[in-house]
Structure 1
Amino acid sequence: MASQLIDHVPLDWLKLPAYQTKVVDGVSTGRSSFINLTDTELGECRRRIIEHLIRVLHPRCILADHTPQGKHKELVPSLETTRDTDTTWVLGVRGWVGSVPQVWSDLAKRLFSEHYRHLLWYGDSHLLGEEQVRTLKNHFAIQPVETGYVCRISELDRWLSLQHSTDDDIAGVVSIPWLGEDTEHIINQLFHALNKIGPQYGTWRLFVGSPDDFSNQKWIQNLFEKLSFCKVTPADEQYQQALLKAKTAVIYGGYNSLTDVFYANIPAVVLLRGMQDEEQQAHMTRLSFLNRDRLITYKEKDIKGDDLAQVLIRQIRSSRLPKPEINLAGAAMAAKYLFEIITNPN
């Protein structure tokens, strides 16, 4: 959803072809991309693009996301390319790392030791405790720099709010970033819940999938056409504005979606994917004391339309939540840190 949200923000950026995944029995595996490349071919394509860009641009600083080697080791050649240059490599990891094998592998540990000089942790120890910081320090042999959570819509708010308008009377926002094995069940229960709630609290905006996957969304569009107060579109720049005007939301328990609703300061129903590593469940456990009515969680398979309708109505009618005690200034903190690296490389 990054390219849709960035929209007209004045940045120079290049979008790499994205990996596509599917989840079967709680295990995520790669699948062919929208440009008809296999998972392996896509990794090779990304490797060549990244290596070429580094050779052409000679960056002074590179911030890598989550794993030192890249998801499919596509960063390894570039690390070697910059070994004898003045490029500084920085690794940034999200608040709750989970049991991602690429992060905790011996290869990741070795590559970090050989090529990286800094480690940013996009978390908040006030909420998550010191466990993640200690684990990262023990694995990578360096003290992580705690930045706070990185909140995408906080950074986009100053730009996108001036460019587009959307409905003012929004009851809620539903965000389903990608379609999976339980999507049909979720959509049917959502339809039942919203049909029961009706239009009395305002319109509902449903952002489902990406524009590239529109053909798989047609049945969802056709279903919700029966509800005049609901609008279904792929993820786009209006998501941010709709969320800031909504009274409640239905989201998945990923890092970005959680920070979105924290910044909007609205209650939300959080759907947890049935992944074997239960990373989202572990993260949500650490966040549970923020406010017991702020986040109501369901496992995908357990959600029922009648229960969902009751919860959403209660959230819509609830009084304004207190501002969440969570540090969402991670992007600004990380940017200042990177600026210091560039201006004071030694």
Structure 2
Amino acid sequence: MRIAMYWHNGRSLGHTAESAKVAHGLVDSGEEMHISGLTGAWRGLDLLPAGMDVVKLPAFTNYDNASGWGTTGRTAMAAGPLFRLRSELSEVFLRHYAPDVFLVNHLPRGAEDELVPALTATRGAGERRVLTLRGVLFDAEKTDREYFSEDSARWIDRHFDAIHVHTHPEVFRLEDHYGVPHYLRDRIHYTGYLVDEFQLGRDAARASLGVDDAERLVLASMGGGQGAMGLWTALIDALAEQRTGFDRVRLVTGPYLEAADARTLRARAAELPWLEVVAYEPAMMTWMAAADLFIGAAGANMLSEVLAVGCNSIVIPRQVRESEQRIHARLLADRGLVRMCDLPDVLAGAIGPTLAEALREPLAPKAGHLLGGARRYAALLRGEGA
């Protein structure tokens, strides 16, 4: 089976990590799979399976600011020419690669409609197209406008054979929150969260990392980390006030944190003997299992890893212009699987009571039945259960 996977770019590692989990599930199925990625992402590609090829589109940057996205090309190209170039490259690659399955992550038309020429071209014989969604998309008004208005839904209807949703229906169903038209409902399949239950417990994780059994360890990560400096400053201040509750904080900035902010954080850590700052951690789930408390962004990928590890966590919805993380985190918090502290509260210095409670009364969530989506993918693409 020849598979092409598109994910647009992203401001963080979430879409790359999500696509990587699907790719690993396919590779690990034992079937003969040839997988190529099509993406503008330039960080986190080491998460992909070793045998997976990547067709790299010229990347863009944008920022989740209240004033707008500010999209620019990393090659100093204006957005218009950049996306025309990306669109042409995508169409040429897909025409010659001729995949049996084309998985399109999150954006049915691609970023800035860049997949429209490829998707409106004549399909190859037997080619299947699958739209993959993280589950919670945006607030209901924006989601219905961008996905399920008549024009948007009919686009999905014409160009996709299936919709795979990477959450468990016990937590979230598109049909319950959005205006999904009847003609799309039978194409939806809920895979469950992509990850499997993590196999290392606290003691084994600490042994593998060389962490002393008695050390009280806090781990913090904001995903890719773009634009997270204000959050890091507030969080470090709050942790300093809870200093008696832990021995060490390992702070993972993420590879997209701006260079000047990374230097500022390292300088701050040099003054605080309990604070350790690293840019990137490929063994994140092992560190999550080893930690007494994990503090993380409430992105869909990170939430799935929290559930897989079953760790004591505080999650922070850090989006400014969108509400997806807040909605998803609240659904899990209401089930007692995570603690949530909203971004305005963190920035206002109000996370202290939540930190104290999490250190004093750790959660130990059990969510194994919600997991395992990636290992089901090969069967789904064969049409079994889709």
Give the TM interval when normalised to the shorter protein.
0.7 to 0.9
Alignment TM-score, normalising by the size of structure 1:
0.81
Matched, 1:32 2:106: no
Match of 1:186 in 2: 231
Q: In structure 2, what is the equivalent of residue 91 of structure 1?
A: 131
In the alignment, is residue 248 of structure 1 matched against residue 293 of structure 2? yes
Instruction: Name the counterpart of 1:57.
Output: 97
Offset of residue 310 of structure 1: 4.3
User: What is the aligned partner in structure 2 of residue 126 from structure 1?
Assistant: 170
Structure 2 residue aligned with 1:303: 346
How far does residue 202 in structure 1 lie from its aligned partner after superposition? 3.7
Whether the 8 Å contact between 1:193 and 1:306 is mirrored in structure 2 is yes
Shift of 1:217: 2.0
CA contact (8 A) 1:89 1:116 kept: yes
User: Is 1:238 aligned to residue 266 of structure 2?
Assistant: no
CA–CA distance in structure 2, aligned partners of residues 8 and 283 of structure 1: 25
> Where does residue 312 of structure 2 map in the other structure?
267
Q: 2:108 aligns with which of 68, 91, 98?
A: 68
Match of 2:51 in 1: 11
Structure 1 residues 254 and 142: CA distance shift in structure 2, 3 A: same
- Are residue 102 (structure 1) and residue 149 (structure 2) matched? no
- Kindly indicate whether the alpha-carbon contact (under 8 Å) linking 1:137 and 1:143 is maintained by their aligned counterparts in 2: no
In the TM superposition, what whole-angstrom CA distance separates every residue of 1:72-112 from its partner, at most 9, and x where no partner exists? 11111111334354321111112112234432344432332
**Percent sequence identity over aligned pairs:** 20
C-alpha deviation, 1:234, in angstroms: 2.3
Q: How does 1:202-241 map to 2 (within 5 A)?
A: 202-210=247-255, 213-241=258-286
Counterpart contact for 1:265–1:323, Cα < 8 Å = yes
Distance in 1, Cα, partners of 2:241 & 2:361: 19
Choose 102-111 or 2-11, whichever is displaced more: 2-11
Gap change, CA 1:267 and 1:137, over 3 Å in 2: farther
Structure 1 residue 171 and structure 2 residue 217: aligned? yes
Amino acid at match of 1:21: N
Q: State how far apart, in whole Å, the 2-side matches of 1:233 and 1:17 are.
A: 27
Which shows bigger deviation, 121-130 or 328-337?
121-130
Contact 1:122/1:330, CA 8 A, preserved across alignment: yes
What does the per-residue CA deviation read over 1:219-256, in whole Å, with 9 as the maximum and x for residues that have no partner?
A: 12212221223222223413333222112122222111
Write the distance in 2 (CA, Å) between the matches of 1:249 and 1:33: 34
Matched, 1:148 2:192: yes
Aligned-residue offset at 1:57: 1.6
1:127 alignment partner AA: V
C-alpha contact (below 8 Å) 2:333/2:339 kept by paired residues: no
What are the ranges of 5 or more consecutive residues in structure 2 without an aligned counterpart? 1-12, 17-42
Extract unaligned runs of 5+ from structure 1.
none
3-state secondary structure, aligned to 1:125 = coil
For the 8 Å contact 1:91–1:119, the answer to whether it is kept is yes
Moved more, 245-254 or 308-317: 308-317
- CA drift of 1:10 comes to 2.7
1:197 to 224, 242, 252: 242
Give the stretch that moved more between structures: 323-332 or 6-15: 6-15
Check if 1:20 corresponds to 2:61: yes
TM-score by length of 2: 0.73
User: Could you say what the CA RMSD is over the residues aligned between the two structures, in angstroms?
Assistant: 3.5
- Aligned-pair distance for 1:271? 1.6
Tell me if the contact between 1:5 and 1:240 (Cα under 8 Å) persists in the aligned partners: no
Q: Deviations over 1:110-130 (max 9, x none)?
A: 332222211212222212257
State how far apart, in whole Å, the 2-side matches of 1:76 and 1:174 are.
Answer: 39
Alignment check: 8 A CA contact 1:166 1:238 kept: no
Q: Which moved more, 1:61-70 or 1:106-115?
A: 106-115
1:318 maps to a residue whose letter is E
